[in-house]
Amino acid sequence: MQIIKTDNAPKACWAYSQAIKTWNLIFCAGQIWLDPLTDKLVEWWTKNEALQVMKNISEVLKEADLHISDVVKTTIFLADIGDWAIVNEVYWEYFSHKPARSTVAVSWLPAWAKVEIEVIAEIT
């Protein structure tokens, strides 16, 4: 097992890692709308949140020498299922290869985020 860590994505708190490499898989922790450069939240609008989440995921994968196209499974957490179409629009910009996916509505996300996405990528 190897911990994946980058300064180009939001810092992980003491309780978890940004990602873990095990065998040929990378398990990325859920990403929210924090800008790693400022350590602050991006403009509070669902599309901007989703774009920042995808940038954060891309940076964690990049640290592991992977790309979005290596993602085989995603899980999307939405604070409001009504944001599904907006998040889906951003999602398809990045995941045109159609990895397996789950989307769930939750009652609360950290930092009052509207969107959190976690991914599993495969090292080929």
Whichever domain contains 16, its CATH number is 3.30.1330.40
Domains in the chain, number: 1
Single out the residue of 65, 16, 13 nearest to residue 34, CA to CA.
Answer: 13
- Evaluate if residue 41 carries a pLDDT over 90: no
Look at residue 44 in the predicted model and tell me its pLDDT. Answer: 72
- Evaluate if residue 39 carries a pLDDT over 90: no
Domain extent, residue 66, equals: 2-122
Look at residue 93 in the predicted model and tell me its pLDDT. Answer: 96
Distance CA 97, CA 11 (A): 28
What is the H or E stretch that residue 84 is in?
helix 84-94
Q: Which of the four pLDDT bands, split at 50, 70 and 90, describes residue 104?
A: very high
Distance CA 40, CA 98 (A): 31
pTM for the whole structure: 0.94
Look at residue 111 in the predicted model and tell me its pLDDT. Answer: 86
Distance CA 27, CA 18 (A): 9
Query: Any idea how long the chain is?
Result: 124
Look at residue 45 in the predicted model and tell me its pLDDT. Answer: 86
Look at residue 53 in the predicted model and tell me its pLDDT. Answer: 96
Q: What is the mean pLDDT of the chain?
A: 94
Distance of CA 35 to the CA centre of its chain: 12
